[in-house]
Homo-oligomer: A and B are copies of this chain.
Amino acid sequence: MVSRVSKKTISYISQSVATKIDDQLFSQFGFKVEQLMELAGLAAAQAVAAHYPKGNVAVLCGPGNNGGDGFVCARHLQQFGFSTHVVYPKTSRNKLMECLVEQCQKLDIPVTNNLPDLKNFTLIVDALFGFSFKPPVREPFDAIIGSILQSGLPVFSIDIPSGWDVKDGPPADGVCIRPDAVISLTLPKECMRDWNGTHFVGGRFVPASLARDFQLSLPSYPSFDQIVQLAD
């Protein structure tokens, strides 16, 4: 069971604030990307496991930190009894990303550049682009998102539905993900304000002093939970 929190009690943040929070976590508070990515990916996997039955999940990972969250999510989903397949269209030379790829491969999670045949899958996890993305979606991601839309499979997005503008949401033209459910990390971004799908929040690692400095209203997590679900 995931606890519910009213969306009226939390902040919605801009791209600029989201970037500053990340910068502060790594510079001011001395966190390592590996640590917070592990917690973010775990929260995403917990939200998936809370909302969907076990099945075959294609996890789409972009080359940046949003993709890294996706790799971690795939690993935890495997622990939870899901069967996962990572789709990683654009390989990053970032050392951490190389490690995350290796971990999945050694856990017998397939990592492919191209989309597999989606007819055997039950769910897509979208970890292509995070809050740093600026539309439009470029090659090869446009074709991939097109195929996802055509498949009719439910899509769970990590942080930002890929292709959305972080402030304005789905672009007027060009492809973008139409998610069934989303987990916002730290806090929802502005584009999520009027979105009414199933919406989780995770990322229970923001220091209280940082929340005060940025005047953030974080969700009230009960007990030792790592995720909450937003309600009206």
Q: For chain A residues 89-114, which have a beta carbon within 8 Å of chain B?
A: 99, 102-103, 106-108
Nearest Cβ on chain B to A47's Cβ, whole angstroms: 9
- Tell whether A223 is near chain B: CB-to-CB under 8 Å: yes
- Tell whether A120 is near chain B: CB-to-CB under 8 Å: no
- Tell whether A32 is near chain B: CB-to-CB under 8 Å: yes
Residue among A50, A106, A224 with the highest chain B CB neighbour number at 10 A: A224
A42 touching B45, Cβ below 8 Å = no
Question: Complex: how many Å from CA A38 to CA B204?
Answer: 13
A50 touching B224, Cβ below 8 Å = yes
B224 touching A46, Cβ below 8 Å = yes
Tell me how many residues of A have a C-beta within 8 Å of chain B.
32
Q: For chain A residues 1-52, which have a beta carbon within 8 Å of chain B?
A: 28-32, 34-35, 38-39, 42, 45-46, 49-50
- Tell whether A205 is near chain B: CB-to-CB under 8 Å: yes
**5 tightest A-B contacts by CB?**
A49-B224, A34-B34, A46-B224, A30-B102, A38-B38
- Tell whether A214 is near chain B: CB-to-CB under 8 Å: no
Chain B residues lying within 8 Å of A34, measured Cβ to Cβ, are 32, 34-35, 38
A106 touching B223, Cβ below 8 Å = no
Nearest Cβ on chain B to A31's Cβ, whole angstroms: 6
Question: Complex: how many Å from CA A209 to CA B34?
Answer: 24
24 A-B pairs with CB atoms under 8 Å apart are: A28-B106, A29-B106, A30-B99, A30-B106, A31-B103, A32-B34, A32-B99, A34-B34, A34-B35, A35-B38, A38-B39, A42-B42, A42-B226, A49-B224, A50-B223, A75-B205, A76-B224, A79-B221, A80-B223, A80-B224, A106-B207, A107-B207, A107-B209, A108-B209
